[in-house]
Amino acid sequence: MKKLVGLLATAAAAAAFAATAWSAEVKVGLSSEPTAMDPHYHNIGPNNMLSTAVFDRLVAQDEKQNKKPGLAESWTQLAPNVWEFKLRKGVKWHDGSPFTAADVKFTMERAGNVPNSPSSFKLFTGVLSEVEVVDDHTVRMKTKDAFPLMPDYMSVIIIVSKKHGEGATTNDYNSGKAMIGTGPFKFVEWVKGDRMVYTKNPDYWGPKPEWDKVTVKPVADNAARVAALLAGDVDLIDFPSPSDIPNLKKNANISLAQVQSNRLIYLHYDTNRDKSPFIFDKSGKQLEKNPLKDVNVRKAMSLSINRKAIAERIMEGLAVPSGQLMPPEVLGAVPDLKPDPFDLNRAKKLLKDAGWGDGFKITIHGPNNRYINDEKVTQAVAQMLTRAGIQTDVVTMPSGPFFSKGSALEFSLLLVGWSSGTGEPSDPLRALVSTYNKETGLGATNRGRYSNPALDKTIADSLKAPSREEWVRLSQEATKVAMADYGIIPLYFQVNVWAMRKGLDYVARADEYTQIQDIRSKK
């Protein structure tokens, strides 16, 4: 079906594009719609990415999620627990009032405390013990303990105006009343389910926005989104489905932008319980002993997976094999940590030496509507494990029940994805491989309940490292330990693709964000 659409499209697009007049307006079709305009209401990608058009952050993230100056021109760590941010001068809100340190202080108070937020920014503002306004253009962020990640945390919090944000509810942002930012575009309207409209802010302090008007339309259906692009209804779309991409590539009127994302697809498994719900002996009886508690069995599983084949065949080239939690070039990741090779013989030998030469039976669970080709990849992994002697059944389901059951520990082996909002490895280290602990808040997404006290200590130390350098060292060490112990099995990073009409250019981003200010015409 999708193929057919693409094929017909290739033949026909020329006619459609002849009709598209050039104007200083751009229309974007997105796979997802935000749940609110309030930039602090819901900490999820679709909301965060569109907020960056109207608002700014103290620290901006470039397309690789490297940190660069935003509303703060520079920052220094005065003491292990004090960070000073020098604010940009001459920045104006859309209503003309000046941006000052008071706005930053107000934002830090608001961001974590929006009533009934389905997922708040408390995670980031919670570390702050005090926000000290030194003068109009200097702010000091203080924490209780030493804290090395302040620039990263400040790169996810959208700065709102105190004047318009004080007492403003989420509805005031949705209606546009409080949508007064410092960003490259001014907010015009949000018609739920239909469109979001922005106009140019000619006084923007940064690179001047190119479009007089930008309209963003949610088109969730993959085939319909591609059709909308081919019909000229929209000029740029995100996430074309992999099966359409070869045809889009052949189309002379379409250009593509793609980049390796930081969304890791990985296997999580039950390494904690003696009796795991989906691990059986060959006859189908539940095993009393959990083989996944043995690191050699876990290693054997990793060696039996042909990551390259998954990337090239199943993902049609839209994946990059991975050996750790974040891409190796990211600050805090290990530059020379390679993915495990595919080595079936060694995998079999490891299993035999561990006493599982006859193998065992396991069920792998995966989502079927969450990640690119998630169902197919889950099946491929199952076949690869089966070849190594671990007879693997596959069950996939929609993300609703999948994540509920996964977090309720109802699975033994599952395929999941992870993407870091801050763009550094503290995030997956904290949530995925730390011991699950309600008191410290660590290991919240540790669906395998993997636990390694030495690793926990390194991670805790890294979060209290007195300097950036020390944090990088500890973060790398923690990553190495977690990977050597196979707390999870990293598989690959997804590759993000955007498709647009010829003549447009988009800087493909590792965080999957479509930022309308980054859409440019080709010079």
Partner 1 sequence: MLVFLIRRLSQSLVVLLVMSFLVFVGVFAIGDPVELLVSPDADQFERARVIRDLGLDRPLWEQYGVFLLQSLKGDLGNSFVFNQPALQLILERMPATLELAFAAVIIAIVIGIPLGMVAGLRPHAWYSRMIMSVSILGFSLPTFWVGLMMIMLFAVMLGWLPASGRGETVDLLGVPVSFLSEDGLRHLLLPAINLALFKVSLVIRLTRAGMRENMLMDYVKFAYAKGLSHGRVIFVHVLKNILVPIVTVVGLELGNVIAFAVVTESIFAWPGMGKLLIDSIYRLDRPIVVAYLMITVLMFILINLIVDILYSVLDPRVRIADVKS
Residues 86-115 that bind partner 1 (CB under 8 A): 115
Largest CA distance in the chain: 74
Residue 296 sits at the vertex; the CA angle it makes with 435 and 344, to the nearest 5 degrees, is 130
Q: Which of 74, 129, 171, 345 binds partner 1 (CB under 8 A)?
A: 171
341 interacts with partner 1 by CB under 8 A:
no
Cβ atoms of 373 and 240 within 8 Å: the answer is: no
- For 96, half-sphere exposure in the C-beta direction (CA atoms, 13 angstrom radius) is 0
**Ranges within 31-50 binding partner 1 (CB under 8 A):** 35-36, 41-44
261 interacts with partner 1 by CB under 8 A:
no
Q: Which of 98, 317, 398, 503 binds partner 1 (CB under 8 A)?
A: 398
Rounded to a whole number of angstroms, the minimum distance from the CB of residue 512 to partner 1 is: 13
Q: 69 or 277: whose CB is closer to partner 1?
A: 277
Rounded to a whole number of angstroms, the minimum distance from the CB of residue 215 to partner 1 is: 9
Q: Which of 92, 105, 122, 468 binds partner 1 (CB under 8 A)?
A: 122
407 interacts with partner 1 by CB under 8 A:
yes
**Ranges within 264-283 binding partner 1 (CB under 8 A):** none
Q: Rounded distance, CA 122 to CA 110, Å? A: 9
**Ranges within 346-385 binding partner 1 (CB under 8 A):** 369
Q: Is 435 exposed, middle or buried (0-12, 13-18, 19+ CB in 10 A)?
A: middle
Q: Rounded distance, CA 367 to CA 458, Å? A: 32
Q: Rounded distance, CA 510 to CA 419, Å? A: 10
Q: Which of 96, 167, 193, 284 binds partner 1 (CB under 8 A)?
A: 193
**Ranges within 444-473 binding partner 1 (CB under 8 A):** 444-445
**Quick one: CA dihedral 67, 435, 444, 385, positive or negative?**
positive
Q: 227 or 474: whose CB is closer to partner 1?
A: 227
Give the interface segment with partner 1, choosing from 90-98, 230-238, 253-261, 317-325 (CB under 8 A): 230-238
**Ranges within 47-86 binding partner 1 (CB under 8 A):** none
**Ranges within 141-170 binding partner 1 (CB under 8 A):** 170
Rounded to a whole number of angstroms, the minimum distance from the CB of residue 393 to partner 1 is: 21
251 interacts with partner 1 by CB under 8 A:
no
Distances (CA, A) of 289 to 50, 128, 271, 351: 49, 45, 11, 15
Q: Look up residue 375 and give its two tokens.
A: 């169902």
Q: 369 or 383: whose CB is closer to partner 1?
A: 369
SS3 (DSSP) at 316: coil
Q: 14 or 454: whose CB is closer to partner 1?
A: 14
487 interacts with partner 1 by CB under 8 A:
no
Q: Which of 119, 129, 175, 286 binds partner 1 (CB under 8 A)?
A: 119
401 interacts with partner 1 by CB under 8 A:
yes
**Of 433, 436, 470, whose CA–CA distance to 455 is shortest?**
433
- In the DSSP assignment, the letter for residue 348 is H
Contacts (Cβ under 8 Å, ≥6 apart) of 198:
53, 54, 185, 186, 187, 188, 213, 214, 215, 216, 516
